[in-house]
Chain A
Amino acid sequence: MKYSILFLGLGIMLLGTLSGCRTVQPWERGTLSDYTMRPDRDPLTDSFREHVYFTREAAAGGRGVGGGGCGCN
């Protein structure tokens, strides 16, 4: 009981380290801002994908959300 609070606290902190998630720091975003990280970097592939999406879903568009980027400013 005396050490329970200590062990509970340490346990919670240890559990936090087991997470696979990691924050990419602002100065580590060079790779994310690379051109190859853009989902629309190849117009031909983009049109293929759009065609398949339209055929399957009977819907189009909705791809305005950006991917990658350096998140600057």
Chain B
Amino acid sequence: MNTSFGTRMIGALLLSATTTLAGWDIGTPLPNLTRFKLEGVLPSTTGKVLLIDFWASWCAPCKASFPALNSLQKDYGDKGFLVLAVNQDKTGEALATILTGHSAIYTTVRDSENKLVAEADVASMPSSYLVDRSGRIRYLHRGFHGEKTLAQYRKEIEILLNEKNRGAP
């Protein structure tokens, strides 16, 4: 009985460790973003196809992706698509400097405590997640590779926009 208890305890500890390390993956429901204390105004994401992009000012490919994100927001914004850029800079000044030189038409919030990015457990910067209308993560992208990534984004966004709402997860 005691041995069984011990074995179960070890199993529970290992399971909890594994669960803690697990990040967002395809099929994972998007958590409620309001509980991560993000700096900035969160837009309403209900019923929308959402692209969450994790980036930082010190990340060159992240900055290279800005025009692509702008074009996606411009082309699909009126069809129920939303880009949410989540900045990981330690200070608001770094973010402000970047945004001054870049006229983003999408929403940017700052994850100053890195809580959201830690929950997502991104493997590289930038990383982005495409969420369907029902709030489930459907595609993930690691890094930004110019036109190749942009074309992939467009293909996936059009698939998600053409889908009927599957219902809340």
Contacts and interface: CB of A to CB of B under 8 A. Distances in A.
Interface in B118-135: 118, 122-127
Contacts of B165: none
Interface residues of A, number: 19
Report the interface size class on chain B: 20 to 34
A71 B3 contact: no
Interface of A is mostly: loop
A29 B54 CA distance: 13
B89 interface: yes
A73 B3 contact: no
A5 B10 contact: yes
Interface in B46-105: 54, 56-62, 88-90
Contacts of A10: 10, 13
Interface of B: 2-3, 5-7, 9-10, 13, 54, 56-62, 88-90, 114, 117-118, 122-127, 142-145
The 7 closest A-B pairs by CB, nearest first: A6-B6, A73-B143, A9-B10, A2-B2, A30-B58, A27-B88, A33-B58
